[in-house]
Amino acid sequence: MVVGSGIAGLTVALHAVQHGCRVTLVTKDVLEHANTRYAQGGIAGVMFDDDRVEDHVHDTLVAGAGLSDPAAVRVLVEEGPTRIRELIALGVAFDRAADGQYVKGLEAAHSYPRILHSGGDATGTAIEKALVATLRASDVRVIEHAFLVDLVVRDGRVRGVQLLVGDHVATATGPAVEGYRETVDADAVVLATGGAGELYAHTTNPAVATGDGIAAALRAGADVSDLEFFQFHPTVLAVGDSFLVSEAVRGEGATLIDEHGRRFTFDAHPDGELAPRDVVARAIAHQMELQDGRPVYLDATGLRPTEAERAEFLARRFPTIDRAVHERGLDWAKEPIPVTPAAHYLMGGVTTDLHGRTTIAGLYAVGEVARTGVHGANRLASNSLLEGAVFGARAGDVIAADAASGTWPSAAPRAAHPSRDALVVALDERVASGERTPFSRTALQQLMWEDAGLVRDDEGLAHAEAVIAEWRAAARGPVTEAEYEDENLLLVADRLVAAARARTDSVGAHYRRDAAVSTADDRMVAAVAAGGAAGC
């Protein structure tokens, strides 16, 4: 049983069925609607003769601020090219230059332009379409509009899933549909449910990213780790609905400027706009504070000599972004466009080994829902699609043997910050004695944005912890899909805040303004040195 239909889930299903498994894939929306389809930046891999595995490994370790697992990074980088060629064989047409060679893309914190794109900025869509078409032609059974309510655990092993099937809210195209509960048995369950971007008021994620897999794993007793590391993308359009502007735009030479036209990111890092994402996002947030909250600007007006040449280049290289920019009444060939950070990617998740096995027998996790160790404290740009393909294939390849063996290998590493029952938390005095804030998803998202977002401190985290505990203590009895999602978001928010309070120093995407001294640089240097000495 595979839960989720992004690159990780689809890859698991296709590999498992090739090994003789009878596979059912369930997804909470239609098959094509997953985070993968929104990925603009591309997929990183050592696909060119003048690139080196060691360089991609080094870049990943540096971006991870010393907290990546070197062994996991080695697997990601060494097996990545095979998985990319597999996607090509399935029909993904990566962009080629006039000479027939693949177009090289550069993104932040990469030492080499190793990013492949398809359709300019539609890489995720191209990958999703190819994998979905292959899956529909396979023997994999598909259940759409099936929401994961919980995992079925018997005798210490995951034995299946509880689903809520067909629960729809009324839309312009159809009436509301009441769902029904169904329990489906399985020898192995793979969580490929994506992240939890809906925790935050501003996010690049679609509405389906509500942390369902992480919450189900927590309730089943699985280890989670690194939930405090939530990556905020630096550049999201500050006009209209949130829309991500790919890092590849800055890779092509676009700059970030304040409201007076000054390039400010070099104040934070010598690589300026191409510094690691967490650095650039905080630099933007700091500049916005200096500007009383007004957005900064992404300036692409220097990419070509004339406005006509720029307009043609931007429309050809970034067709999806170009369309979104113009839909908002902006013209980035003529003038800079306003941007702001937004929640983007969860580096932590359900703790796994290098084959997706969790700490509970029969349960696997792949993709953004999993904590494989490759991202550390900060994901390197365009490593996410690669992770889904590499570790999805690895899980799919071992499931049949694991199920047939009747045993479970040694447990994956235990979580760094043990989970605890959030219902037994003393409420903050300000909440206990003051006016209660009624729960709503919007209220939770705003609370997380303000107290557990891009910049944190213990006072804000303690406040968030207390409010979330109060909300969780109020029994609601979820019935609909949206109500189950709210419960999942509350549980994941609780554990994220607890992990953020427990990590008192600043490292990577976890930035605390009250940290005395950050040891991130020391960790990074030590990890890179150890990785090199041990062959990662």
Active site residues: 277
At 534, phi and psi to the nearest 5?
A: -100, 5
The rounded distance, in Å, linking the Cα atoms of 500 and 535 is 31
At 188, phi and psi to the nearest 5?
A: -145, 140
Side by side, the strands of the sheet bearing 157-165 are 146-154, 157-165, 180-185
The helix (H) or strand (E) run that includes residue 157 is strand 157-165
* Tokens 């910050």, located at residue: 417
Structure tokens at 514: 């009250």
Residue 190 to residues 13, 200, 366, 472, Cα–Cα distance (Å): 9, 26, 7, 27
Residue 162 to residues 153, 165, 359, 494, Cα–Cα distance (Å): 10, 10, 20, 23
Q: Which residue from 178, 180, 89, 103 is spatially nearest to 133, judged by alpha carbons?
A: 89
Contact 344/244 with Cβ under 8 angstroms?
A: yes
Burial class (CB in 10 A: 0-12, 13-18, 19+), 485: buried
The rounded distance, in Å, linking the Cα atoms of 252 and 107 is 8
Contact 386/53 with Cβ under 8 angstroms?
A: no
Residue 230: what residue type? Answer: F
Structure tokens at 530: 């150890």
> What are the start-end ranges of the E strands in 286-336?
296-299
